[in-house]
Amino acid sequence: MLRKNNIILLIGISICASVGLQAQDAKMLSKRGVQKLATKNYSGAIQDFTLALEANPEEVGLYVNRSIAKKGVNNFTGAIEDLGFAIEIDSTDANLFFNRGIVKGLMGDAQGAITDYSIAIRLNAKPNMFFNRGIEKERLKDLDGALEDYNKALQLNPKYGDVYFNRGVVRSAMQDTEGALQDYNKALLFNPKNESAYFNRAIERSNHQNFIGAIADYTNAIRLQPSFASAYFNRGYAKTKLNNYRAALLDFDRAIQLDPAADIYYSRAIAKAAVNDHTGAIQDYDKVIVLDATLENIYFNRGLSKMKKEDFVGAISDFDQAIKDHQSNSDIYYNRGVAKRSLNQNALALVDFDKAIVLNPKNSDLYVNRGLVKLALKDTSAAIKDFTNAIEADSRNIGAYFNRGIQYERTGEFEAALTDYNTALQLNPKYADIYFNRGLVKGMLNDKKGAIGDYANAIRLNPSFGNAYYNRGIERMQQKEYAAAITDFSRAVQLMGSKPDLSFNRGIAYMQLKLYPAALRDFDTALKTDIGNADIWLNRGILKVILKDIAGGCKDLQQAAKLGSLGASAELEKSCK
């Protein structure tokens, strides 16, 4: 939320120096009073004008000047009274009504000020009278009336710069952004040092999505007023709209130094979260809650940052508080459900997703997440139904196709799974996991070349995808591309370590290429962590027989037979009589 700076300018009262008194001492007192006014010795001026009035109680100028002095000591009632005396003497002087209107405005009597300005205009209309009456109408939210008066002031004096500024404020309030921009341009033409005009024009530019122009205007406002906290704050906001969060943080830091207000901490927290500084964001959210816990979505946003820190318990606590304030906000239930699912509180998560879907039945992501919870609760058919609902709500929801494809794959419905994976990749051809899963399905459908191509795409998109290397190695083995398979298995070992299956399959590939010592090393490695695997014992036994280690080979074959290997008996019969 941008901060606004609707500064309204008042026209000051002019000192009346010509008193027209006859008595010499009264003239001296009047002159001395005017001098005291000039030096802001208002109390002394009041005394002198009062003494002068005793000598000449019908002198209008003395009442006017004493009213000015009384205004200087905030005695507005007394100032109005003196102007009233002056008006009783001369009710045809427009300036008397004008000046009394100013004082009434200072007292907060906008309607009384308007009445006096109207009389002044009827007696002798001048631009500043329309201007000041427009100010009071603006205070009473009579925007049409204020606009009309500002227009009249500019008709009488098109070079009246301050009026352009105030008319810009009114036009902005009336949603006339273009008109407001034009007025602020004019105001700056007449007064290029008006920091408020730069500030307000920046707001209008932001409303037009011209954030670069807004930043330039805020910068000018800051140049003219280096302690302008709201300008730093709003400039930071404009930078966030350009995704320049780090630069925005510098502005928010400075704004907080000048004005440590809740809304600035809030915006800084959002910017910190955007650059993944969730620890800093949480600290700022904490500060906001101390200053003003009623700010919109404060607990919700803090909960989101806690989610990023994997503080799911803390996040749930914040979402609980957020729900108290916004019971119909589906996003809060959704995120609380995600947090509960992360804690394996699937039954509780299901309740939240159910509630979120009631509140927002067209949000496809809600169905996807509820489907994942139902999977965790072993309700596969219901999960598939939710993924289907998600697709019906949004035919471009990649996660829905992907997750439904996984479930079809698990239930052996490979053609259906392939269709979902194809659709998902049409929507996002840069999703490595989908290529990987489609490769699995193609392998099950005996499309070996297609599977190898999908694993290759998964690796292209994610060069650290160890399982993709492993699976491609398996497919290459089946295509008798043993050297290529060994390369894939070796890369998988680099990425994932010497897992038994990796070492075993690479050992098989080495055997096929008659690289027996390398094969033996891999079988030895595999058995260190999977000693109960009959296939490893069987193949190492066969290898040892090939290497003329008959005793060792027969021992391995016997162990394979004990573990239930059907092939071990035939090998024992052939090699170990």
Instruction: Give which of 79, 80, 83, 24 is closest to 56, Cα–Cα.
Output: 24
Radius of gyration of the chain (CA): 42
Q: Which helix (H) or strand (E) holds 277?
A: none
Q: What is the pLDDT of residues 381-418, one digit of tens each?
A: 999 999 999 999 999 999 999 999 999 999 999 999 99
CB-based contact 78:107 (threshold 8 Å): no
Q: What is the pLDDT of residues 434-456, one digit of tens each?
A: 999 999 999 999 999 999 999 99
- Asked whether residue 415 is domain-assigned, the answer is no
Tokens of 304: 């989101």
What pLDDT does 325 receive? 86
Confidence of residue 19 (pLDDT cuts 50, 70, 90): very low
Give the long-range contacts of residues 136-143, CB within 8 A, separation 24 or more: 136/101, 136/105, 136/110, 136/111, 137/110, 138/8, 138/166, 138/169, 138/170, 139/8, 139/105, 139/110, 140/110, 140/111, 140/114, 143/170, 143/173, 143/174
- Asked whether residue 139 is domain-assigned, the answer is no
Q: What is the pLDDT of residues 269-285, one digit of tens each?
A: 999 999 999 999 999 99
CA–CA dist 373, 394 (Å, integer): 20
CB-based contact 94:120 (threshold 8 Å): yes
Confidence of residue 349 (pLDDT cuts 50, 70, 90): very high
| 464-482: average pLDDT | 97
What pLDDT does 10 receive? 37
Question: What does pTM read for this prediction?
Answer: 0.78
Q: What percentage of the chain reaches a pLDDT higher than 90?
A: 93
Give the list of residues 6+ apart from residue 470 with CB closer than 8 angstroms, or none: 488, 489, 492, 496, 501, 502, 505
- Asked whether residue 260 is domain-assigned, the answer is yes
CA–CA dist 191, 23 (Å, integer): 46
Instruction: Give which of 431, 430, 472, 470 is closest to 449, Cα–Cα.
Output: 472
Q: What percentage of the chain reaches a pLDDT higher than 70?
A: 96
Split into its structural domains, the chain has a count of 1
- Asked whether residue 180 is domain-assigned, the answer is no
Q: What is the pLDDT of residues 65-120, one digit of tens each?
A: 999 999 999 999 999 999 999 999 999 999 999 999 999 999 999 999 999 999 99
Q: What is the pLDDT of residues 126-157, one digit of tens each?
A: 999 999 999 999 999 999 999 999 999 999 99
CA–CA dist 521, 512 (Å, integer): 15
Confidence of residue 16 (pLDDT cuts 50, 70, 90): very low
CB-based contact 424:405 (threshold 8 Å): yes
Instruction: Give which of 256, 257, 238, 262 is closest to 248, Cα–Cα.
Output: 238
CB-based contact 218:224 (threshold 8 Å): no
Indicate the SS3 state at residue 464.
coil
CA–CA dist 220, 217 (Å, integer): 5
Q: What is the pLDDT of residues 237-256, one digit of tens each?
A: 999 999 999 999 999 999 99
CB-based contact 465:459 (threshold 8 Å): yes
The CA distances from residue 256 to 3, 259, 262, 264, 265, in Å, are: 14, 5, 9, 6, 7
- Asked whether residue 215 is domain-assigned, the answer is yes
CB burial class (10 A; 0-12, 13-18, 19+) of residue 43? exposed
Domain at 228, CATH number: 1.25.40.10
Domain with 211, as residue range(s), is 205-295
Confidence of residue 11 (pLDDT cuts 50, 70, 90): very low
CB-based contact 229:259 (threshold 8 Å): yes
CA–CA dist 179, 151 (Å, integer): 12
Sign of CA dihedral 281, 283, 287, 293: positive
- Asked whether residue 473 is domain-assigned, the answer is no
Task: Please state, rounded to an integer, the average pLDDT across all residues of the chain.
Answer: 94
- Asked whether residue 150 is domain-assigned, the answer is no
| 463-484: average pLDDT | 97
Q: What is the pLDDT of residues 497-549, one digit of tens each?
A: 989 999 999 999 999 999 999 999 999 999 999 999 999 999 999 999 999 99
Counting every residue, how long is the chain? 577
- Asked whether residue 315 is domain-assigned, the answer is no
What pLDDT does 23 receive? 54
The residue with tokens 């000598």 is 55
